């Protein structure tokens, strides 16, 4: 069924409701305030017998919310198109339009274009807001974790009786970027988009793709040390997709593809990657919290998420403060926010990692602090009640909202 976008004023009074696409998941205003964009994820039913089309609804509110007009952009034009091979279309019997699942939206400063993450599909759609049509699908490619700069911790334990340790190492695995959150910046007149490369697997009663590497047969010509690699301490427990990597259709896999990239990336508006944070996030969190590295957001166990998607960078927003552009990246699992100076999009610099989680407290108590940052919002100095820029974080697991004040570096 189609969903609704419902409008209220700041006092909570109902104003209007309009019909949008199937399973709306996120919405945002365009910078000019004339439109509201809704990402309609269109996820399938649990048995995969119903798979609605993903779409983005464009709600024109230029003449007021009471006179809102809706147009919905779908992906049917790509059903028979030749797509970038890194775009994943793999749902049972799904068309391209059904398989693409819009997750999050970012808009250009001039309100003319939007970039839409298609997380499960490892892609970003480009939406022309003047014509109301998707003009392009950008395949994001894959991240090579065998390179030292892209190292990961791939296991949550040494053996069934020995807990995990911090081991951030190159591994013979590719990462699917699969971004959740997305934001834009304007640099010297050019729009770039920034992605938080969380990763996500499809897991339904009617179809599931996630398997551990130790359950797969590996091609000995590619993985001559397969027996060793499949041990718990190496990559045996890492979850990967079974839908990619078996290139010749036999029983053995020639490549392995994990969910997410444990990083954030910066791309040109055309989809060319100009920066990826590599292994920064795991290195920074390991240095800051060595006893709680890759803990989950419902437990304080070290290495708990290493065999899955690690720290899971989920949300990203940008803001201009004190003459510099910054990116803020929220980490869903271990928690907290990373701050990077992105004055040069091709060479960001790490500024700070802030996390007010209390690892000494049980995660089901208020004393644990903020758990599971989901959404981030930057408030400029001009709009701030404190006369300093603010960052607002919505924390899904703890059910809390955090407001950080951004002070000038003295």
Write the pLDDT tens digit of every residue in 234-243: 999 999 999 9
Grade residue 409 by pLDDT with cuts at 50, 70 and 90.
confident
pLDDT digits (tens, 9 = 90+) for 30-58: 999 999 999 999 999 999 999 999 999 99
Predicted pLDDT at 1: 86
How far is residue 372's CA from residue 366's CA, in Å, rounded to a whole number? 14
β-partners of residue 206 are none
H/E element, 284: helix 280-288
Q: Residue holding tokens 């209007």?
A: 16
18 touches 27 (CB < 8 A): no
All domains of the chain in start order, with CATH:
1-139 (2.130.10.10), 143-410 (no CATH)
pTM, full prediction: 0.97
- Beta strand spans in 231-289 (E): 239-241, 252-253, 257-259, 263-268, 273-276
| Cα dist from 110 to 40, 90, 130, whole Å | 23, 35, 11
pLDDT digits (tens, 9 = 90+) for 274-293: 999 999 999 999 999 999 99
Predicted pLDDT at 410: 61
Phi-psi bin for 251: left (phi > 0), alpha (psi -120 to 50), beta?
A: alpha
pLDDT digits (tens, 9 = 90+) for 178-203: 999 999 999 999 999 999 999 999 99
């Amino acid at each position: 069924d189609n969903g609704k976008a419902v409008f209220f004023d700041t006092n909570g009074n109902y104003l209007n409701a309009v019909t949008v696409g199937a399973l709306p998941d996120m919405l945002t205003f365009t910078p000019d305030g004339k439109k509201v964009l809704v990402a309609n994820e269109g996820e399938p039913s649990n048995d995969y017998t119903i798979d609605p089309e993903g779409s983005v609804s464009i709600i024109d509110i230029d003449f007021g919310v009471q006179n809102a007009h809706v147009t919905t952009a779908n992906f049917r034009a790509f059903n028979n198109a030749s797509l970038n091979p890194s775009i994943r279309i793999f749902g049972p019997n799904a068309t391209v339009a059904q398989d693409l699942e819009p997750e999050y939206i970012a808009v250009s400063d001039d309100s003319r274009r939007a970039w839409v993450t298609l997380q499960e599909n490892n892609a970003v759609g480009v939406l022309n807001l003047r014509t109301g049509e998707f003009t392009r699908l950008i395949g994001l490619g894959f991240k090579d974790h065998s390179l030292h700069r892209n190292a990961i911790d791939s296991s949550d334990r040494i053996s069934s009786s020995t807990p995990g340790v911090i081991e951030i190492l190159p591994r013979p695995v590719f990462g699917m970027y699969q971004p959740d959150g997305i934001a834009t910046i304007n640099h010297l007149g050019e729009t770039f988009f920034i992605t938080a490369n969380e990763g996500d697997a499809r897991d339904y009663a009617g179809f599931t793709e996630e398997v551990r590497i130790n359950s797969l047969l590996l091609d000995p010509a590619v993985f001559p040390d397969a027996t060793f690699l499949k041990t718990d301490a190496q990559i045996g427990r890492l979850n990967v997709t079974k839908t990619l990597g078996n290139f010749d259709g036999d029983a053995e896999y020639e490549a392995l593809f994990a969910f997410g990239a444990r990083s954030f990336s910066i791309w040109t508006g055309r989809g060319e990657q100009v920066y990826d944070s590599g292994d920064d996030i795991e290195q920074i969190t390991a240095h800051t919290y060595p006893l709680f590295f890759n803990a989950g957001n419902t437990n304080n166990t070290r290495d708990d998420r290493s065999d899955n998607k690690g720290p899971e960078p989920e949300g990203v927003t940008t803001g201009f403060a004190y003459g510099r552009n910054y990116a803020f990246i929220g980490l869903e699992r271990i928690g907290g926010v990373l701050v990077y100076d992105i004055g040069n999009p091709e060479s960001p610099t790490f500024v700070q990692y802030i996390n007010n989680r209390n690892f000494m407290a049980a995660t089901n108590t208020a004393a644990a602090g903020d758990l599971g940052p989901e959404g981030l919002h930057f408030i400029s100095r001009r709009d701030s009640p404190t006369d300093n820029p603010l960052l607002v974080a919505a924390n899904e697991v703890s059910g809390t909202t955090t407001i950080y004040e951004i002070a000038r570096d003295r």
